[in-house]
Amino acid sequence: DQPRPDTEGEAPEEVLHRVFGHPAFRGRQEEIVRHVMAGGSGLVLMPTGGGKSLCFQVPALCRPGLGVVVSPLIALMEDQVAAMRQQGVAAAALHSDLPDDQAREVKRDLARGAVKLLYVSPERLLLDGTLDFLERRSLALFAIDEAHCVSQWGHHFRPEYRGLGLLATRFPSVPRMALTATADPRTVEDIRAQLGLAESPVFRGGFDRPNIFISSEPRESERGQLRAFIKAAGDGTGAGIVYCGTRAKTEQTAEWLRGDGYDALSFHAGMEPGAKRDAHRRFARGDAVVMAATIAFGMGIDRPDVRWVAHLDLPKSPESWYQEIGRAGRDGLPARALLLYGAGDIALARHRILESPAGEEQKRIERARLEAMVSIAEAATCRRRILLRCFGEDGPENCGACDVCRNPPKLFDGTVPAQKLLSAVLRTGRRFGVAHLVDVLRGKVTDKVAQFSHDQLPTFGVGKDLSDQAWRGVARQLVAIGALDVAIENHGELVPTDAARPILKGEQKVMLRAEAVTAGAPRERNGR
Ligand code: ADP
Ligand code: ZN
């Protein structure tokens, strides 16, 4: 007879309290645990620190049998095993770096059922001996941690992970959970296909960082806006990061900030390795130090008390912005993020994508990400909600911790322009991007308009009252409120959602941000 580990059959909430010492599940943990307890498989998508481990640890302990956790990193495995043992859980690790005598001991413990949670490297798991052994055992679940290693799209591809696909066929009745922090849609689909999870649900959550107050402003006087922001962000303690679009700008920015009396440094990829190390060291240690940097500054910032992050230029995607502002407030205390943008940088970013040597497919994806970023910058509704939607997570209606929620912008009734645009989308067959739709609305006979006879449509030329720029603003805001989707995976065409119907039927008014639409060309005074 095998000894019964004492957590089997216990309720998940009890194990959460008793073993892990947490008062409650967080975010989607409860839903995920319930799904796996009932025997379901699925993919869990949460950022680092989002609380993925509990999602498999709790059901592994509560369900009968051995829980098997596949992990690519020996150090990570050893950490988790040590932590679990400290909490009184019979955990063990099996990997190629284990000395023979210890491996023998683990196998002996496994054989007599004295292990509840086994951490194992993929190559070790896939040995015939291991699989045969597991086939004869009762198994609580398989958890595949760092599941993005199965995908060749990312930079973390591990050939051994490919073999894990056989778990689906060899252990059809054992729940399989894949876990990753990578939210990139292509990688996500690849993981699901490779691991036989295409029919299983994807759980996304935990992306919110509620202690970071986020705000965005059109660039008017860059220095004045940054000065005011730094003051509001609690001048004097912790550190701050100013992200700049170019290397030269990091140096200029650090210089004027020093002129203002800040301990400001600059950082970019073109610096000597020694200078980079020095900048990193000074940033890590200095109080109230400000780093003016390009996005090259990021890896290895583990300072918990970064109080603010400002972007003087528009980031290339919501994913990069999220990652960059996420460097603030890791200590959980209030932090702030400011995003400045101008029509100039939006146009420049679009142009850069157009001119880049990337393939058409890649360009479309980059373009769609950029447009999503623009719609966050121009949002008339909660910015956090729009940002979270980019990760497939539903945020609250009003987060209360962004500038839009705190101080709603001036709006006007934009129902008529919204209807005109939506109807142009429908009449052209939902197959076109914003540029062509604007041409149709403004009544321009371009080659493409002629080719598709779009000058024959009733919507042709009905939008002459607004400028090209204003129409793009309407489009972005319709994307922002979710009435239109940008087909990221496709050609970047605008596609109406269910939310478009009541607008078209006149059942729902659309409030648009006055400033983004009525100003023909947004004013912009760059720099000083
Ligand atoms: P991930 O694997 O997603 O990076 P972890 O599982 O390591 O994240 O969890 C991150 C931190 O959050 C850990 O310190 C963990 O103890 C804590 N945590 C996770 N879930 C909860 C919860 N329900 N209540 C309190 N703390 C939690
Ligand atoms: Zn908000």
Q: Which residues contact 74 (CB under 8 A, 6 or more apart)?
A: 93, 95, 97, 121
Q: Could you give the percent of the chain with pLDDT greater than 90?
A: 66
Return the best residue to mutate from 17, 20, 119 for the ligand 1 pocket (most ligand atoms within 8 A of CB). 20
Query: How far, in Å, are 41, 92, 375, 490, 497 from residue 494 at the CA level?
Result: 34, 51, 13, 10, 10
**Amino acid identity for residue 363 in this structure:** K
Does residue 515 carry a pLDDT above 80?
Answer: no
- pLDDT score for 390: 84
Average pLDDT, the chain: 90
What number is the ipTM of this complex?
0.97
- pLDDT score for 302: 77
The CA 386 to ligand 2 mean position distance, Å, reads 9
Does residue 524 carry a pLDDT above 70?
Answer: no
SS3 445: coil
pLDDT tens string 195-242: 999 999 999 888 889 999 999 998 889 999 999 999 999 767 789 999
More confident site: 26 or 528: 26
Read off the tokens for 411.
Answer: 């709006």
DSSP string, 191-207: HHHHTT-TTS-EEE---
Highest mean pLDDT pick, 44-48, 136-140, 203-207:
136-140
pTM to 2 decimals?
0.69
- pLDDT score for 124: 95
Highest mean pLDDT pick, 52-61, 466-475, 478-487:
52-61
Q: Whose CA is nearest to atom 10 of ligand 1?
A: 49
Q: Could you give the percent of the chain with pLDDT greater than 70?
A: 94
The CA 336 to ligand 1 mean position distance, Å, reads 23
Ligand minimally distant from the alpha carbon of residue 387: 2
Distance CA 467, CA 311 (A): 28
The CA 360 to ligand 2 mean position distance, Å, reads 35
- pLDDT score for 464: 94
Question: Which runs of consecutive H residues, i.e. helices, occur in 88-158?
Answer: 100-111, 122-125, 128-135
Contact residues of ligand 1, CB 6 A cut-off: 22, 25-26, 29, 46, 48-54
